[in-house]
Each structure stands twice: as C-alpha cells, then as structure tokens.
Chains A and B, each alone.
Chain A
C-alpha cells in the first residue's frame, strides 16, 4: 500500500501467556477514518495499546509512516477509554487539555502563548469553552469524553487513535464529534477509532478492521460487513480459537519465538 499510515506486522500480544491478539497483520491507509470493530474482549483496546507502545508485543512490530514508533510519538495522539482514569483528580478542563501540549522536550518549560492558544482552540472545537475552568469531576460523561478528545486535538498530531469515543455520549455530541472527524480527515489526518455500534459503522468509516483475537477481515465497509465475516467474528465458531488460546496459557506454551518472524 502506498501512503500507508499504520503498518501492523504479524503482531501477537499476550497477557500472562494467553494470546489476546494473534498474528494480526494489516496496513491502514492515511487520510481516512478507520474503524476497529469486534465483540467484547476481542482485543481492540489491546491492539490500540500495542500500537501506542503501551504494551510490549510478544512478536511482530508496528510502523507509523514507515518509521519506528519512538520516532513518531509526537505525531500520534491517543484518546484512552474514559473509564481508564479517575475523574476526581484535582484538575480543570484546561489543565487536562494542556497535557496534550506536554512533550519530553518541554517538560521543564512553562506553557507558552502558543500552548495557551492551542488549548483554547481545542476546547472551543469540542464545545466546552463555557466549562473550561470547571473541575473535571463536575462534568457529565459525554463532556469528559470531549475533554479527552480536546486533549488529543491539542497534540496537533497526524494520526489519532481513539478508544470508543462514542460511548456514553448523546446523539448531539456524537454528531459534533463526527463533524470534527470529517474536518480532521479533510486536513489529511488519519483517524483510527474503536467502535461498538454495528448499525452505524458503514456511515462513519471509510475503512474497517474486524477483529476477534485474530484478524477476521479488513477493507471497505462493503467488503468487511458480509454475513460470513460477521458470523465469524460475532458467532460461535471462534470458541475453538478461545479454547486453543487457553490451552496455550495452561501449558505455558510459547506461541512464537520472539523476534523470529521479523
């Protein structure tokens, strides 16, 4: 694929021996809105975390624009699941969005005018300007989700990875986020989104990755959303896969020698 934003090569990630992602291999086109779908526990969050380098794969690698992740960190923004933090933390909306401006290089510097301007602009884009001084615990779930999106916007990245940004937001907010995504796409950014609602996937995404521990399908929504693919991912057939995964865990069997496949 020319113009490939994210390349995932033969990736396997395990938790305590059990493979949660197994030989995942795909390339994602740049400048598109891409959805990752799959049932609960299918490894979607794990995939995003492995791409971000938060989890160490037991084999395989990830490249961003054909480069190592460490070189590209500042060009990727990450929106974690909302429940992954304690919102009772003593910080305001502005404080959290400002974290999107932090870099290794400016760790010891005070925030400058550009930072402040970018933060204000990002907050405005998600419609939280009236709440910018508010303590984050005093926001609704949907507003908290938008704080995370604003923080990612403040990073001014090229690739955005979002873990279920539509969970717990109302229809109006969902539409607001969607038009924001379209705007980002128009600027040539790549957006990778974990999504739950199969009803809306074909409207929202240009490209899809269907996952259940293994890669079930990838491609345009028409190509991916076939009856066969969906029953492969969501139906019962894959319980066999789960059984094998369990066996591997019980016997502490190495799925693959590390680095052998590079």
Chain B
C-alpha cells in the first residue's frame, strides 16, 4: 500500500514522467489504432514498428548524437516508407497483405540490426542506449520526450475530431468515399502518418517488438463492448491508458522489471476478459443467453402442461385446480428433477402457489399459461393454413416456436388468421 501511495504521489519526478508518457503514448496509439483496426490494417503496425529501427540508426548517424528530433525524423521516414512498400507490393503483385507485411518487416528489421551493429563498432561515442529501442525502456522517458509525446497526442486527438467524417467513411467504404469526391488520398495519407507518429512516439518506451500490440489490442478489446464508434474510441483509450498506468506501477514496485511487457500483459488480460465477459459479444453473455432460453422454455412448458390438464377436465376457463407433480407428468414427460427445479422457480416468480404438495396457478400464472398455449396454437393454425405440412408434423413443427414469438408477431398472426381467444387443437 505504501508503495502505491509513493507511486501516485509522484515523489520521484521520474515516476511522473513515466506515467504521463505512458498516458500520451497509449492514448495516441489506441485512438489511431482503432482506425487501423477498422480498416483491416491491424498488422501494418507491426511492419511500421520494426521499420523504425533503421530510421533511428540513420538519424543517429546523421546527427552523431542521440538528438531526439533526428532520431524521430529518421524513424518517421523509414516507418512511412515501410507502409508505402507494403501497399505497393500488394497492388503490383499477387502477394497478399500479410505476406507483404512479413517481407517488409523482416527486411527493415534486418537493416536496422546491421546499422545498429555498425554504429556499435564504428566508434561513435555516446551510442549507448540505442539498443534500448529493441525492447524499450519506459524509465528512459524524460522531460524533452514528454513534450513531443504530448504534442503528438493532441495532434492525433484534434485531427480525429476534425476529420471524423472523412476517417469513418474511408474506413467503412473507401470506394464510396472516393465516389462522393472526398479527398481519399489525403485522408489515407493522414491516417498512415498519424499511425507512424504514434508508433514512433512509443518505440523508446516499449520497443519495436511490443509497440504494435498498442495499436491493435485496445481496439480489439473495445469492440467487444460497444457498437458505436465514438464509444469504441473512448473505451480503447481507457483500456490502454489504464494498462499503461498499472504497468508503470508494477514496474515501479517490482523495481527492475521493465514497464513495456507489463503494459502489454495487462492489455492482453483486458482483451481476454472482454472476450469472456462483454455484455454483447462475449462468450459469457452468450452462455447466459443460452441458459436463459433453456429456463424460459422449461417454465413455459410447465405452464402449458398445467393448462392442458385443466382443458382435459374442462376447466380451462378458470384454471383453478390444485395439481400434484404426478398430474403434470401425466400430461407431459419432464425429467423429474428438472420439473422440481422449474416449479420452484415458478413459485419464486409468483406464477404458482404451493399448498401441501399441490400446485395451483396464481392470477399472473394463469394469464401466462393462456398466452403460451394461444401462441402455440396460433402458430399451428398458421402452419396448417399457409404451408404444406402433414397434420402429423404440425405439432412438432409448432413446438418450441411459441417461446420466441414476439407480441408484434402475435398480433399479426391473430389478424391474419382472424382468431380471437385460444383455438382448439382440432387435428
């Protein structure tokens, strides 16, 4: 706890630099990464990140110094060339995008390693730290870098707001954007440049290997939670910035462990959790939906059986009999334990009253059972009238359908068949 308080009170100014740095880097890459993700260019980040290395080396050789501006310019140039090359290869040959990315990535990375080795052996003074770009070191973020990251973050944010219409139209349907005369070339140039910029800003802290994760992963995780693009952008930034913060803290408290890997680990964990728990698309939600459907079907089948019991003895108007479980089983075959579970739940939901081992419908229970039987029979009548189906099969064809018919469809069925009340099962 004390470590956490030390951490967030920023006693050590370096901690503040790292946290702010991670905020700007992760925020930038999550925003622009969302568009890369939607344009199905998620992997391009990988090519760019690897291609920055030779540019950084060239910038260093040019300035003879670790002047951040030169390194940055070099990185930006080779990063840009790499995406251009990928597009060029895809357009001019039969090679697919993933293969083209693989080719460009390895060529540039190899070139970067060659240059790096050359610099180390060529007697440049002050080259120490260049190989940090391979794996990254967040602790190396200083005041001067922070300024650059902040400017990039704000630039990306403003340009996304300004070009929101253009960016979304190009991401969804670039041909259409071109057809209505939007400046698609300019927009694509901007999107690529901003992607290169955001990757370049993170390369020192995260390294060429991990940086591409910051482009793809936040968007992929955010997509699980929303169907709205502005929300998706916000959630991606939130996830990424949160991971950056936690990553910086873990690395602070376990001094010695690097920040970058922690950030990526936490981001991946968030993605995994999104996959499992997200409300719309996660597997847990789908599992719960399936379970709910199963319960609903069971309850409705019990209510239907109770109605049929009354019908058999001619009391379907009042629905006031007290039945035993055996009576219900006489109408429809249930698994006994399932029936008990279902009855217990129906009692809890006030559909059924229980007095001394006998079950009786409550008022809402009676209403509900009538509704289900009506839907089932309406559907049977509809099948008989509108489709060619053997009377023998009508029953099984209508079974289960009553559980999903919506009130609108019910109204339509009634209108089409001209039936009021509950039809008899007359076949």
Contacts and interface: CB of A to CB of B under 8 A. Distances in A.
B182 interface: yes
Nearest to B232: A90
A103 B175 contact: no
Interface in B147-184: 162-163, 165-166, 168-169, 171-173, 175-183
Interface in A71-90: 73-74, 76, 78, 80, 84-86, 89-90
B182 A104 contact: yes
Interface residues of B, number: 26
Contact of A73 (B168, B179, B226, B227): B179
Contacts of A80: 173, 175-176
B178 A103 contact: no
Contacts of B178: 52-54
Contacts of B179: 52-54, 73, 76, 78
Which residue, B162, B168, B228, has most C-beta atoms of chain A within 10 A? Answer: B168
Contact of B175 (A49, A70, A90): A49
A99 B166 CA distance: 9
Given A91-B168, A107-B165, A85 B229 contact: no
A92 B419 CA distance: 38
A224 B416 CA distance: 44
Contacts of B180: 73-74, 78, 99-100, 102-104, 155
Contacts of B226: 90
Interface in A132-179: 135, 137, 151, 155
Contact of B176 (A86, A91, A99): A99
A135 B175 CA distance: 21
A54 B185 CA distance: 12
B169 A102 contact: yes
A135 B225 CA distance: 13
A151 B173 CA distance: 12
B223 interface: yes
Contacts of B169: 99, 102
B89 interface: no
A107 B173 contact: no
A146 to B, nearest CB: 16
A158 B228 CA distance: 32
B31 to A, nearest CB: 14
Contacts of A89: 38, 171-172
A198 to B, nearest CB: 27
A104 B181 contact: yes
A4 interface: no
Contacts of B182: 102, 104, 107
Interface of B: 38, 40, 162-163, 165-166, 168-169, 171-173, 175-183, 223, 226-229, 232
15 contacts: A49-B175, A73-B180, A78-B176, A78-B180, A84-B173, A85-B172, A91-B168, A92-B227, A99-B173, A99-B180, A102-B166, A103-B181, A104-B180, A107-B165, A108-B162
Interface of A: 49, 52-54, 70, 73-74, 76, 78, 80, 84-86, 89-92, 95-96, 99-100, 102-104, 107-108, 135, 137, 151, 155
Given A92-B228, A104-B183, A107-B163, 15 more contacts: A52-B178, A52-B179, A70-B181, A73-B180, A76-B179, A86-B40, A86-B172, A89-B171, A90-B228, A91-B229, A95-B229, A102-B182, A107-B165, A107-B182, A135-B227
